[in-house]
């Protein structure tokens, strides 16, 4: 079970984007793409078949999973995540500090 999933709100804890918060757009192995965080400029050629204009495009670059933490709205901080098996057999993610269940 992944600690960070698509759609989660995360906090960047190290690097040039430290302190920034955003939603996870996608998870690729051990790397995540976070909305409006770690933006890079990409020089693209026009592609008329894909109806894509050329120029300089700003987009998100990936961040390693170890550099982000799941954001806890109750404490307004980034926190570590663990897993727990419920009585009915489901595995859920929980915040390590409070034991509060992340998944509904």
Domains of the chain: 8-46+55-95 (2.30.30.30)
Q: Considering the entire predicted model, what is its pTM?
A: 0.85
Show the low-confidence residues of the chain (pLDDT under 50): none
pLDDT of residue 2: 86
Contact indicator for 16, 35 with CB cutoff of 8 Å:
no
pLDDT of residue 103: 76
pLDDT of residue 30: 94
Contact indicator for 40, 59 with CB cutoff of 8 Å:
yes
């Amino acid at each position: 079970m992944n600690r960070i999933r698509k759609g989660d709100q995360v906090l960047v804890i190290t690097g040039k984007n430290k302190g920034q918060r955003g939603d996870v757009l996608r998870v690729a192995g051990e790397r995540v793409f976070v909305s409006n965080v770690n933006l890079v400029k990409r020089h693209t050629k026009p592609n008329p078949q894909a109806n894509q204009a050329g120029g300089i495009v700003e987009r998100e670059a990936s961040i390693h999973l170890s550099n982000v933490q799941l954001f806890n709205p109750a404490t307004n901080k980034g926190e570590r995540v663990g897993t727990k098996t419920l009585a009915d057999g489901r595995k859920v993610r929980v915040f390590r500090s409070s034991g509060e269940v992340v998944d509904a």
